[in-house]
Amino acid sequence: MTKAKIAKAIPRRPFVAGNWKMHRTASDTRSLIEDIVGRVQKVATVDMVVCPPFTSLPAAAETLGRHSILALGAQNMHQSKEGAFTGEISGPMLREFGVRYVILGHSERRQFFNETDASVSVKAEAAVGYHLRPIVCVGETLTQREAGETNSVVESQVRGSLAHYPADQLDELVIAYEPVWAIGTGKVATPKQANEVHRLIRKLMASLFGAKGSGVRVIYGGSVKPENAAELMAEPDIDGALVGGASLDARSFFDIIQAARPVRASEND
């Protein structure tokens, strides 16, 4: 069997993560986590992650306790283990609270905190070194889409953000395609529009990393709601969702998780 055929046979498990952004204090976190855990008990076919603010991670970890059904993620990380970096949080600090994932290069970090492909690349490499799984975000702005630059922008973000990514750690990686114009706006990309970009990312990953690159999960983010989740995730190259606003409501988040398709094989060629 050729390498490509082996990769084709490997199923991509659906992945749904909630990015809480700067919402929920530690005490509010407890009740939201309890509510989510109460609903997702029987979900066995989807990887589920919640990414609360740093200050809520201890409360989230404590509330989850032995409920490893829901994994914890952070929204950012500094690449150094420790040091004179006022206001930053390191990978080992996150690991101490059982954090398994870290969102890197979210468009809000790129837009408001000068995050670049180069900084994301350094962080992604460092994250896997700390046994954290990076969720690397890419996506074009409305101006870029209207100028017909979507593919070139996304391609250069993927190349740049993974420039130092170790090829033997691809199983740990998740890529989130989040068109900036769809984030928090209620304007969702059509399933076809989203899938085109996901397919582009998958092909690029294959050309950068070989057969294993095409097996990396690519999830969609930007106004995902219970009403549109099933349609988006039914697309062959959309492996799940990175959910903002709707993840702050346990019922909505659960409905989105339920919309994730069961395990399927790669359909990339």
The residues annotated with a catalytic role in the active site are 106, 178
| Residue 105 in the binding site for ligand 13P (CB under 6 A) | no
Given the rule CB under 6 A, which of 3-11, 24-32, 39-47, 239-247 is the region that contacts ligand 13P?
A: 239-247
Residues 6+ apart with CB under 8 A from 87: none
Give the span between the Cα atoms of 19 and 126, in whole angstroms.
21
Binder among 70, 99, 216, 242 for ligand 13P (CB under 6 A):
242
27's enclosing H/E stretch is helix 26-40
Residue 235: exposed, middle, or buried by beta-carbon count in 10 A (0-12, 13-18, 19+)? buried
Please say whether the beta carbons of 151 and 214 come within 8 A. no
Q: How far is the CB of 10 from ligand 13P (least distance, A)?
A: 26
11 in the Ramachandran plot: left (φ > 0), alpha (ψ -120 to 50) or beta? beta
**Closer to ligand 13P at the Cβ: 170 or 242?**
242
Binder among 19, 63, 121, 228 for ligand 13P (CB under 6 A):
19
Helix extents (H) in 162-265: 191-209, 226-233, 250-259
Q: How far is the CB of 235 from ligand 13P (least distance, A)?
A: 17
| Residue 222 in the binding site for ligand 13P (CB under 6 A) | yes
Report the site for ligand 13P in 163-192 (rule: CB under 6 A).
178, 183-184
State the residues that interact with ligand 13P by CB under 6 A.
Answer: 19, 106, 178, 183-184, 221-224, 242-246
